[in-house]
């Protein structure tokens, strides 16, 4: 009910209640008055009732002859005033309590929030305006709860970030120190052993450089400070270029590389360098998490419903379904007992996902479980000049993949 309607309701009660009570009292008083002071014709004749002056004279004569009647009239007036005062006071208090109760609760809730307790729910009110106020207040409370939970989560993530950075930096640094000590102590006493030590140091330094580079990119993405040089490009050409650059890596790894690239151009608005990094990260992961026997990776590119898709499908160690979303978290890595030989800092997929989303696209993973491989999919919107007439052929490619 609206506050205005509520006021009208109480005003009507404040008007009807005293009139009704005064009417009842008036009837009772009149009966008592007539019994106590029976009026004769000399006081209230027919002519007196018609002529107001005569009526006033008759009333004056009546009270002159019955002075105690004045006391009864005075009592009647006092009773009427008391009825009006009491009913108005009771009804006003009732009306005020309906407004004060939710406002007192809001004030109490404010004090509760000030003391740091957010585990409660703000109750509503029968009055629409106050109910809206309560709903808005409870919405603010929920926002504070979410903000607190987010702050706790971010604090935990910061602690994990520091712990992971420390661990990922300490491991190669310790290794480098060990190899340098070996060189200084003369352990690398042959040119071949010295070359092996120096190559290992170079590799470990590359690991540190990759981690620092990923941290820099990640922090810029988080702070929205990473510049994107968007320009028209052909996604198909980019995929072909990246896959060609990986042929030697697959030969060295003893893994098979299969491609299924659409024949039509895929016009997109992208930062080619950034998308190349995303695709390279997915291919690197397929090589890192491969199984020794019959390792194979299939890279596909096709269109469907105005979007361009790139899939990187492997038959590697796979991912638990419950971990499919978590692998995009910063510094998250799957079960270390299964990936103890795999080197990485857990930032690649997080960076890849953010870069893809900055392009207005999506990145997701699919896997049926351990040792069942995984498929990573990049989806990017095509530009307006894409020829929709080629869609059927590419969709057939999608279905075959």
pTM greater than the 0.85 cutoff:
no
- Number of domains within the chain: 3
Task: Name the domain boundary from 222, 245, 266.
Answer: 222
- Predicted local confidence at residue 309, as pLDDT: 94
Indicate if 83 and 141 belong to the same structural domain: no
Task: Name the domain boundary from 222, 239, 263.
Answer: 222
Indicate if 290 and 381 belong to the same structural domain: yes
52-77 pLDDT, tens per residue? Answer: 666 677 667 766 777 777 888 888 89
Domain that holds residue 270: 231-400
- Predicted local confidence at residue 53, as pLDDT: 67
- Segment 92-102 mean pLDDT: 82
For residue 310, name the pLDDT band (cuts at 50, 70, 90): very high
Rg, C-alpha atoms of the chain: 44
Asked, for residue 266, whether it belongs to a domain, the answer is: yes
What CATH number is associated with residue 318? 3.30.565.10
Indicate if 212 and 248 belong to the same structural domain: no
189-214 pLDDT, tens per residue? Answer: 888 888 888 888 887 888 788 778 77
The separation between the first and the last C-alpha atoms of the chain, rounded to the nearest angstrom, is 61
For residue 267, name the pLDDT band (cuts at 50, 70, 90): very high
130-188 pLDDT, tens per residue? Answer: 778 888 888 888 888 888 888 888 787 677 767 777 777 787 888 888 888 888 888 88
Indicate if 239 and 375 belong to the same structural domain: yes
For residue 298, name the pLDDT band (cuts at 50, 70, 90): very high
Burial (0-12, 13-18, 19+ Cβ within 10 Å), 46: exposed
Indicate if 184 and 260 belong to the same structural domain: no
Closest CA to 207 of 251, 176, 250, 245: 176
Indicate if 146 and 246 belong to the same structural domain: no
Indicate if 238 and 357 belong to the same structural domain: yes
What CATH number is associated with residue 147? 1.10.287.130
Task: Name the domain boundary from 165, 189, 222.
Answer: 222
Asked, for residue 125, whether it belongs to a domain, the answer is: no
Indicate if 257 and 357 belong to the same structural domain: yes
Query: What is the Cα–Cα distance from 298 to 240, expressed in whole angstroms?
Result: 13
**For residue 41, pLDDT beyond 60:** no
Asked, for residue 194, whether it belongs to a domain, the answer is: yes
- Predicted local confidence at residue 390, as pLDDT: 44
Indicate if 82 and 153 belong to the same structural domain: no
For residue 236, name the pLDDT band (cuts at 50, 70, 90): very high
């Amino acid at each position: 009910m609206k506050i205005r309607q509520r006021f009208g309701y109480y005003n009507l009660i404040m008007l009807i209640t005293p009139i009704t009570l005064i009417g009842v009292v008036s009837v009772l008083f009149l009966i008592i008055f007539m019994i106590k002071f029976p009026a004769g014709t000399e006081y209230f004749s027919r002519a007196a009732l018609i002529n107001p002056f005569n009526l006033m004279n008759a009333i004056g004569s009546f009270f002159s002859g019955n002075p105690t009647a004045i006391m009864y009239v005075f009592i009647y007036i006092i009773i009427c005033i008391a009825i009006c005062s009491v009913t108005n006071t009771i009804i006003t208090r009732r009306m005020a309590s309906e407004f004060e109760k939710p406002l007192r609760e809001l004030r109490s809730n404010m004090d509760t929030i000030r003391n740091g307790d957010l585990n409660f729910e703000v109750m509503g009110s029968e009055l629409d305006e106050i109910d809206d106020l309560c709903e808005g207040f409870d919405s603010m409370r929920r926002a504070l709860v979410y903000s607190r939970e987010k702050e706790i989560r971010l604090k935990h993530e910061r602690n994990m970030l520091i712990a992971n950075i420390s661990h990922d930096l300490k491991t190669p640094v310790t290794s480098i120190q060990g190899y340098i000590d070996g060189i200084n102590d003369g352990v690398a006493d042959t040119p071949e052993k010295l070359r092996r030590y120096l190559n290992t140091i170079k590799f470990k330094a590359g690991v540190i450089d990759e981690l620092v580079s990923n941290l820099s990119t990640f922090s810029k993405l988080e702070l929205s400070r990473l510049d994107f040089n968007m320009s028209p490009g052909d996604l198909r050409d980019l995929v072909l270029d990246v896959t060609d650059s990986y042929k030697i890596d697959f030969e060295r790894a003893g893994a098979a590389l299969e491609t299924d690239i659409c024949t039509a151009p895929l016009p997109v608005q992208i930062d080619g360098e950034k998308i190349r990094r995303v695709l390279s990260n997915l291919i690197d992961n397929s090589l890192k998490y491969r199984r020794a026997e019959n390792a194979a990776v299939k890279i596909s590119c096709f269109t469907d419903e105005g979007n361009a898709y790139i899939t990187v499908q492997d038959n590697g160690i796979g991912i638990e379904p419950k971990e499919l979303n978590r692998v995009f978290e910063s510094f998250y890595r799957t079960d270390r007992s299964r990936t103890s030989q795999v080197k990485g800092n857990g930032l690649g997929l997080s960076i890849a996902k953010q870069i893809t989303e900055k392009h207005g696209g999506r990145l997701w993973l699919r896997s049926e479980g351990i040792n069942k491989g995984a498929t990573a999919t990049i989806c990017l919107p095509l530009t307006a000049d894409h020829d929709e007439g080629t869609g059927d052929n590419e969709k057939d490619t999608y279905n075959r993949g």
